[in-house]
Structure 1
Amino acid sequence: MQFTDLSKNAKGWNWDFGDEANSPTQNPTHTYSTAGIYNVNLTAINKNGTNSINYTITVPKPPPPPSPPSVLPVANFISNVTQGYVPLSVQFTDLSENATEWNWDFGDEANSPTQNPTHTYSTAGIYNVNLTAINKNGTNSTHATITVQKFPDTPDPDMPYALYITNLGNDSVSVINTSTNNVTATVPVGTCPWGVAVTSDGKKVYVVNHRSDNVSVIDTATNNITATVPVGSYPWGVAINQAGTKVYVANYESNNVSVIDTATNNVTTVNAVSCPWGVAVNQAGTKVYVTNYDSNNVSVIDTATNTVTSTVPVGSCPEGVAVNQAGTKVYVANHWSDNVSVIDTATNTVTSTVSVGSCPRGVAVTPDGKKVYVANYGSYNVSVIDTATYNVTA
């Protein structure tokens, strides 16, 4: 604090700052280090005598430092699966920010305060999972949907079903009644038909014509061709999502995947694949897995954006590919390395490699996910893999 003398006729000065400090300077500066009320006294001096004046100085306490801003939590989480069959075990992973506590509501009257819980759904249904993230400043919530389906009933062996077999040599599809094992129809299609897929409601069959670069659409009620859809060059594999809204075709020579909208037969093209051969869609319809024959890997396509989001190295010249119903595992038949790669879909990494027969080509998974069947082109047999141990049991 700066003090300024206004005395008259003074030749000397004596300042008492009220805190046991003094100064003879005419215009001193003094610093108070403690809050309080101080009585400052100035004595002016000349040869004839002295005169004094008092002045009060109030030094307040410094204001407290400002409180940090209140930071609220931001709730966020992911799950390893979003759809599957009962009993469905789901691992939830918390991605919240600034949270110190968690409250999970799994949508089936079960709750958990654990940060990263696992929950099993034992009844089919659509469950709204809610996570509330908590800290001292407040809460924030987010939610996601888990769809749990009843496991399909075992087909009645006496009920007639149809098999659709592509005949590469005579450009047709044979329709076989499974009750009688008789061919009930022969449907002319394009040139060199190869891959075939049926919609989940059984109403349409999509046939990939390898040499005419198109897809024939068969109405199963009449066994008539209702549309012929142009796709890329040298199509091989074909797969349909569970909803029956999208058909995915692997075009070997044009290095892309054609996505057919089943409502309009319009085609969208996904690039960033290399000599694609096989194609499979997960049960939720969110991911498509494409084997790339020449580059020895599998492309993972996000169906929401139709872009390749990951590339997974596998064995030599992969062909067939299949996804289990839970969407957690992908099985890839590697033609020239005589094995099957098992991909964990949560990490998009190969977690197991299973030796099978010679030149494996086709692969399929049972609905319960317990067995994988691999067709071995070179050894004329089928390998049966137990998915619990990844041992070949037959």
Structure 2
Amino acid sequence: MHRLWLVFAQTVTVCLGILFIVATLRPDWLSNEPRMPQTGVGESAGRVVAGAAAGVSYADAVARAAPAVVNIYTTKVVDVPLIPLPADPELNRLFRGLPGFTQRRQSGSLGSGVIVRSDGYVLTNHHVVEAADSIRVALSDGREVDARLEGADPETDLAVLKIDLPGLQPIAFDQDEALRVGDVVLAIGNPFGVGQTTTLGIVSALGRNRLGINIYENFIQTDAAINPGNSGGALVDAQGRLVGVNTAIYSETGGSLGIGFAIPAKTAERILEEIIQSGKVTRGWLGIEPQDITPELMRAFGLERQEGVIVAAVLRRGPAHLAGLRVGDIILELEGAVIPDSVAFLNAVAPIKPGNALELTVLREGKRHQVQVEVGERPPVGRRR
């Protein structure tokens, strides 16, 4: 009996050893799934990869959007110092203007753009074409053409170009405006001048502002790789529709760190139409400097909620000054709607057409007042003094 037990134990041990070896070296022998015919390593691998990628490919979206994305090359003449100039800004400006201290040279830069209409209108960033002496656009099909600047809006960093070519394929705008955090997006542009490139990411956040990039900020944040040269390129959804215009990145190295920003397509489309119609963007303006209500100001003024904006400065002879607004007034409501902060205040005033009347609810010396203001036109950047 003892001998039989030893034989049984040895047999079980050998079987377990064989099972271990088979499970380690040839696990497919133990699988219940049918084996694929071995038609060659390359062919078999190709079938597996194609099958795995079939459900997650964004090739159709890229095929619809990529023909509308262009490369933009600009040149301008700049003054290059021949000797190190003083660090003091005033002395630097003085020496830069003297003959012999600087030499005029031609400088080039690159960016991206998006064809948005079949008659040749192209959206890009203002900083891509700012002060350019010449602008050249290269299409994805290899054609190149000179472009002219139709108009620009530095306060949103958008510009509109016009090219004259037949057979253009404009991109479709996302009319649903249903973009959500977590949605897949693709960034298409010309990073570092290597040529048209597509990167994949998701929407990381919506409504980003207070970044100090533009005056009017309402950015889409994405982790799709955006690098120098991508500015003005397209941010598209999984259907290839334009959801944003890539404009900036947060980076300590100059390359992508996964924090990129795009101007929403709705904003870009509105700016586009205004520039096409009138060559400029018109915004409502009251001539005041609004400041957010801090917890300290809330306690000092005896406010119940941290809402509204305090008037920190009033432009002399501006709309607010003519209406009687004073420094220290707190604007609580605009046309009956509560104002949460200064960003919301500027965004609420901007769409109002100049000449229209606007009713403000103002807190002054602890009492509420209704003030009627005739909205003015916001002056261009650098002309508000």
- TM-score bin, normalised by smaller chain: under 0.3
Structure 1 length as normaliser, TM-score?
A: 0.20
Structure 2 length as normaliser, TM-score?
A: 0.20
Structure with the higher strand share, 1 or 2: 1
Determine which structure has more spread, i.e. the larger CA radius of gyration. 1
Structure with the higher helix share, 1 or 2: 2
